[in-house]
């Protein structure tokens, strides 16, 4: 290996809402390759607060895009704003790492990916949780054949959308329903573990369209409103690798799903925690044991590591290789969601038109701990 380009990538965050705090924390304290310079927000007030809190500059989107030193834009805006911001950033010659999903419009997402390719830039997207310690642990055991050939996966998630929409307004905006907002986590983990999908069938429905604002702090308290998104998703995914996956999302539940992610192999079953988390217990069930074994992680990022995908992207660009969360992964995931919708309308399997590369696993052994987080970051540099 030749000389590694260690020059940090000058970066700006666009969008300073509730989800942005973990990005600011990790980019300013954990990832050496990210040199966070600017932030901006639609109204400006939240950006001013974040800029003061994290010691960076509050700016405007126009000023950020005009700065030739800025190489990477982190798009943390609501999904409805993604297309315009991503396109403007790519047109300005910036790499982009965006919050999920790239857009809710499949063709527009492809258009943005093609624009990035045309300009020699990279567009990557969340979720990046497949790089977390728990999921890399599962990948290690699956690839090593410890559980035998995997035949099926069952992933479930449940939440109370009625209360959630009253608290997080974006969940009642386009792309904010459980399919496109949370289902993306489940499906991305599957793609990272088993590769691309061949065909899908299922349905997305809005079973409870009528709601009432019940949050005392909201001025709309007591007023009724309509749900804009689906609240129930049930689907079957058929992978090229032969794995069959079941995805079930219910936003009208009073409890969380007791077994969020189960992987069934010939010799063992892996019981995972929530796919929206980087860490969590990984339990191995074997036929010869009454109690599951708790597997110990040998990879880093076993805490809230949001932004690791952007850091890995920056390192990949410096190393001259394709990032693990490159747009084709997000677009394939988006088409799966669109395919479930189409299948529900036609009552038939939807044949996928896109594919993606299964992301390479992270090298093991880079565990890190609070005083030496950079040990973890080193795992983003190498492929083995």
pLDDT in tens, 258-291: 889 999 999 999 999 999 999 999 999 998 888 9
Q: So what's the pLDDT on residue 108?
A: 98
Q: Is residue 359 part of a domain?
A: yes
3-state secondary structure 123-185: EEECCCHHHCHHHHHHHHHHHCCCCCCEEEEEEEEECEHHHHHHHCHHHHCCCCCHHHHHHHH
Give the number of other CB atoms < 10 A from CB of residue 317.
20
> How many Cα atoms occupy the beta-carbon half-sphere of 144 within 13 Å?
8
How confident is the model over 220-242, as a mean pLDDT?
A: 89
Which segment of 36-45, 116-125, 177-186 scores lowest on mean pLDDT? Answer: 177-186
Counting the structural domains of the chain, the total is 1
Range of the domain at 100: 9-129+305-330+353-380
pLDDT reported for residue 128: 98
Neighbours of 27 (CB within 10 A): 22
- The dihedrals phi and psi of 289, each to the nearest 5 degrees, come to -135, 135
**Terminal CA-CA length for the chain:** 12
119 found inside a domain: yes
In a domain, 158, yes or no: no
CATH of the domain at 84: 3.40.50.720
- Residue 123: φ, ψ to 5°: -115, 120
Residue with tokens 């990832």: 31
Cβ–Cβ under 8 Å, residues 135 and 143: no
Check whether 156 has a pLDDT greater than 80: yes
Asked if residue 249 belongs to a domain, the reply is no
Contact 179, 206 (CB under 8 A): no
Measuring CA to CA, how many Å separate 307 from each of 18, 52, 184, 259?
15, 20, 16, 27
The span from the CA of 182 to the CA of 173, in Å, is: 14
Is residue 202 one of the residues assigned to a domain?
Answer: no
pLDDT at residue 223 in the model: 84
| Residue 371 confidence (pLDDT) | 57
Comparing 287 with 41, the larger pLDDT belongs to 41
Q: pLDDT value at position 308?
A: 98
pLDDT surpasses 90 at 34? yes
pLDDT at 191 over 80: yes
Q: Does residue 125 form part of some domain? A: yes
pLDDT single digits (tens) 296-344: 988 999 889 999 999 999 999 999 999 999 999 999 999 999 999 999 9
pTM: 0.93
pLDDT at 210: 84
Does 101 reside within a domain? yes
pLDDT at res. 228: 77
* 170 located within any domain: no
Burial 187-199 (b: 16+ CB within 10 A, else e): bbbbbbbbbbbeb
210 vs 163 pLDDT, higher one? 210
């Amino acid at each position: 290996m030749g000389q590694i380009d260690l020059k940090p990538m000058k970066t700006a965050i666009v969008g300073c809402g509730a989800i942005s705090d973990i990005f600011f924390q990790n980019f300013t304290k954990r990832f050496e390759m990210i040199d966070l310079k600017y932030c901006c927000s639609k109204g400006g007030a939240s950006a001013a607060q974040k800029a003061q809190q994290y010691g960076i500059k509050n700016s405007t989107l126009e000023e950020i895009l005009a700065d030739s030193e800025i190489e990477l834009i982190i798009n943390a805006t609501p999904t409805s704003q993604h297309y315009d911001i991503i396109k403007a950033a790519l047109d300005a010659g910036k790499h982009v790492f965006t919050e999920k999903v790239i857009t809710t419009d499949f063709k527009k997402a492809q258009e943005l990916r093609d624009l990035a390719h045309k300009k020699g830039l990279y567009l990557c997207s969340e979720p990046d949780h497949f790089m977390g310690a728990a999921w890399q642990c599962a990948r290690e055991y699956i690839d090593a054949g410890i559980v035998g050939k995997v035949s099926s996966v069952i992933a479930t998630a449940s939440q109370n959308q009625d209360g959630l929409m009253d608290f997080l307004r974006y969940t009642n905006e386009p792309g904010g329903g459980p399919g496109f907002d949370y289902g993306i986590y489940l499906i991305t983990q599957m793609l990272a573990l088993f590769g691309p999908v061949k065909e899908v069938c299922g349905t997305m429905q809005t079973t409870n369209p009528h709601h009432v604002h019940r949050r005392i702090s909201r001025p709309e308290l007591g007023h009724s409103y309509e749900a804009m998104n689906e609240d129930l998703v049930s689907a079957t995914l058929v992978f090229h690798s032969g794995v069959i996956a079941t995805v079930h999302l219910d936003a009208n539940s009073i409890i969380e799903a007791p077994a969020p992610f189960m992987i069934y192999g010939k010799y063992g079953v892996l019981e995972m925690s929530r796919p929206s988390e980087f860490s969590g217990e990984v339990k191995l069930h074997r036929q010869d044991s009454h109690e599951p074994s708790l597997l110990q992680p040998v990879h880093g990022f076993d805490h809230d590591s949001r932004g690791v995908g952007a850091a890995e992207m920056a390192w990949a660009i410096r190393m001259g290789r394709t990032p693990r969360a490159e747009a084709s992964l997000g677009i394939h995931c988006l088409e799966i969601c669109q395919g479930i919708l189409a299948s529900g309308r036609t009552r038939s399997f939807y044949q996928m038109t896109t594919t993606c590369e299964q992301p390479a696993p992270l090298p093991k052994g880079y565990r890190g701990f609070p005083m030496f987080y950079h040990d973890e970051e080193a795992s983003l540099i190498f492929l083995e």
